[in-house]
Amino acid sequence: MGINIEIDGLDNILDNLENISSKLDGAVQNGVAKGGKAIQAQCKAECPVDTGELRNSIVEETTGGGGKYTSEIGPTVDYGIYVEMGTGIYAGGRQTPWRYQDSKGQWHTTRGQRPQPYMEPGFEAGKDEAVEILTNEVQKAIN
């Protein structure tokens, strides 16, 4: 003995739910990417500039799928970490001075480079805007 229940319009409801899910996934992806770009802009604004190479190397890349997205922001030049964290005594590394010879043959003594943070302050300055952007993208998709 079984009970059969037929719901008129169930296929239509399921199609609408699938459409909403697809819209939400796209909205989350857009929101994460746009939020990441907002943080990237703040990191660039905080970045110390000599030649501009470090600032210009700060990139944003959004990856993922299925509603789970990640925005990675950071410099592509290899010395970015040393500017952010410092070197030598300023980074908890080598505690004694050292000498090096520059490209002109001149000798210099150093204890390291003081940190010039730009990524962490940039993240802190941009995170609220990034959340707001993501929220707005999702709300637009729902409405």
10: pLDDT strictly greater than 70? no
21: pLDDT strictly greater than 90? no
Q: How does 82-95 read in b/e, with b if 16+ C-beta sit within 10 Å?
A: bbbbbbbbebeeee
Q: Taking the C-alpha atoms of 46, 48, 51 and 57 in order, what is their torsion angle to the nearest 10 degrees?
A: -50
**How far is the first Cα of the chain from the last one, in angstroms, to the nearest whole number?**
44
Determine the Cα–Cα distance for residues 124 and 63; give it in Å rounded to an integer. 21
Residues 6+ apart with CB under 8 A from 27: 137, 138, 140, 141
pLDDT digits (tens, 9 = 90+) for 29-68: 999 999 999 999 999 999 999 999 999 999 999 999 887 9
Instruction: Tell me what pLDDT residue 83 has.
Output: 98
Instruction: Tell me what pLDDT residue 114 has.
Output: 96
Instruction: Tell me what pLDDT residue 137 has.
Output: 94
Determine the Cα–Cα distance for residues 96 and 136; give it in Å rounded to an integer. 52
13: pLDDT strictly greater than 80? no
Determine the Cα–Cα distance for residues 8 and 22; give it in Å rounded to an integer. 24
| Number of helices followed by number of strands (H, E) in the chain | 4, 4
Are 40 and 60 contacting, i.e. CB atoms less than 8 angstroms apart?
yes
Mean pLDDT along residues 118-122: 98
Q: What are the extents of the domains in the chain?
A: 14-85+116-142
CA atoms within 13 A on the CB side of 125: 17
Instruction: Tell me what pLDDT residue 5 has.
Output: 63
Instruction: Tell me what pLDDT residue 66 has.
Output: 80
pLDDT digits (tens, 9 = 90+) for 53-108: 999 999 999 999 887 999 999 999 999 999 999 999 999 888 999 999 999 999 99
